């Protein structure tokens, strides 16, 4: 359980860092399972890239239909102009998502062991729903940048309720693209919302036109096993991996069942 000081720190800063939260055996289970799933994966003819180019991502049916599936997304630099892999598939994948916490027995076992709903309730959520999971690789040398964003842009509820749990499966530092965030930035209004549009595509609603504050981001250089809890409105970022070491992480996002989840949200799951 979180201490009162930890809860106050989360409310003040918009994040909480907890050392040694996920043990070595649990980390190994997730890393080995991800490797096995990639080995069994039969790539489609069109290989979906995870990119910070939101327009490209928005138009991809494979991505938009992944809310209740286990799907695989490639690093942009892992695929050439002809669609062929430039590296072995085990180091070509950017992430796996978005329902392995429900569909895969190994991920489900580890998530159940961590007893996260109790912790989410301590942070004010009344009826937690684990909506989205991601195994994030940040591959050595080609792991791409993830631009400054707020998770509630993509996992929007009324009122907003998203909380993210990010687990370092490997050491994260400035060379391999550790998380960075604006401390206290969860008090900044939500900048935009990503949603389905009436014509069958997707679009962003711009909610706040003010630019991001001009202040340096705080860098979370953490050891394997660390948990970082992220408020849904906290602006956060990760740089490209310029090192020879990967930066694997597992992330799970919760929303409150008591809050309205709009029908035009991009991510929908059959698992309520």
Within a domain: 265: no
Within a domain: 261: no
Q: According to the model, what pLDDT value does residue 254 have?
A: 98
Whether the bond between 109 and the residue before it is cis, its omega within 30 degrees of 0, is: no
Compute the average pLDDT of residues 52-74. Answer: 75
Distance CA 20, CA 223 (A): 8
Q: Report the CATH number at residue 35.
A: 2.60.120.620
Q: Tell me the two tokens of residue 242.
A: 């310029």
Q: Tell me the two tokens of residue 263.
A: 């029908």
- Using a pLDDT cut of 90, give the percent of the chain over it: 82
pLDDT, tens digit, for every residue of 255-270? 999 999 999 999 998 8
Does residue 98 register a pLDDT over 80? yes
Does residue 70 register a pLDDT over 80? yes
Which of the two residues, 42 and 68, has the higher pLDDT score? 68
Compute the average pLDDT of residues 125-148. Answer: 96
Q: According to the model, what pLDDT value does residue 109 have?
A: 98
Compute the average pLDDT of residues 38-46. Answer: 81
Answer whether 132's CB lies under 8 Å from 97's CB: yes
Compute the average pLDDT of residues 122-141. Answer: 97
Q: According to the model, what pLDDT value does residue 142 have?
A: 94
Which of the two residues, 195 and 54, has the higher pLDDT score? 195
Within a domain: 235: yes
Compute the average pLDDT of residues 59-72. Answer: 86
Within a domain: 173: yes
Compute the average pLDDT of residues 22-43. Answer: 96
Within a domain: 9: yes
Within a domain: 133: yes
Distance CA 73, CA 146 (A): 14
Compute the average pLDDT of residues 101-105. Answer: 97
In the chain, how many domains are there? 1
pLDDT, tens digit, for every residue of 145-167? 999 999 999 999 999 999 999 99
Within a domain: 271: no
Q: According to the model, what pLDDT value does residue 49 have?
A: 58
Within a domain: 136: yes
Q: According to the model, what pLDDT value does residue 141 have?
A: 94
Q: What is the pTM of this model?
A: 0.94
Domain enclosing residue 183, as ranges? 4-256
Q: What is the CA radius of gyration of the chain?
A: 18
Compute the average pLDDT of residues 58-63. Answer: 70
Compute the average pLDDT of residues 165-190. Answer: 98
């Amino acid at each position: 359980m979180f201490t009162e000081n930890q809860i106050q720190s989360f409310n003040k800063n918009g994040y909480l860092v907890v050392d040694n939260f996920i043990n070595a055996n649990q980390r190994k289970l997730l890393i080995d399972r991800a490797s096995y799933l990639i080995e069994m994966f039969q790539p489609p003819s069109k290989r979906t890239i995870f990119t910070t180019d939101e327009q490209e991502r928005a138009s991809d049916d494979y991505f938009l239909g992944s809310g209740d599936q286990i799907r695989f997304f490639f690093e942009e630099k892992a695929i050439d102009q002809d669609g062929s892999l430039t590296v072995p598939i085990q180091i070509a994948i950017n992430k796996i998502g978005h329902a392995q916490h429900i569909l895969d027995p190994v991920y489900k076992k580890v998530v159940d062991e961590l007893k996260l709903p109790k912790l989410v309730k301590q942070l004010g959520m009344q009826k937690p729903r684990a909506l989205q999971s991601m195994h994030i690789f940040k591959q050595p040398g080609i792991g791409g940048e993830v631009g400054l964003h707020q998770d509630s842009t993509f996992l929007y509820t009324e009122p907003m309720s998203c909380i993210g749990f990010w687990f370092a499966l490997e050491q994260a530092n400035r060379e391999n693209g550790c998380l960075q965030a604006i401390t206290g930035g969860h008090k900044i209004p939500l900048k935009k919302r990503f949603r389905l549009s009436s014509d069958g595509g997707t679009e962003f609603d711009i909610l706040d036109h003010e630019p991001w504050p001009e202040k340096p981001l705080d860098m979370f250089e953490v050891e394997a096993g660390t948990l970082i809890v992220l408020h849904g409105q906290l602006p956060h970022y990760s740089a490209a991996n310029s090192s020879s070491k990967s930066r694997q992480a597992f992330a799970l996002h919760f929303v409150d069942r008591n809050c309205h989840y709009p029908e035009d949200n991009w991510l929908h799951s059959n698992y309520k």
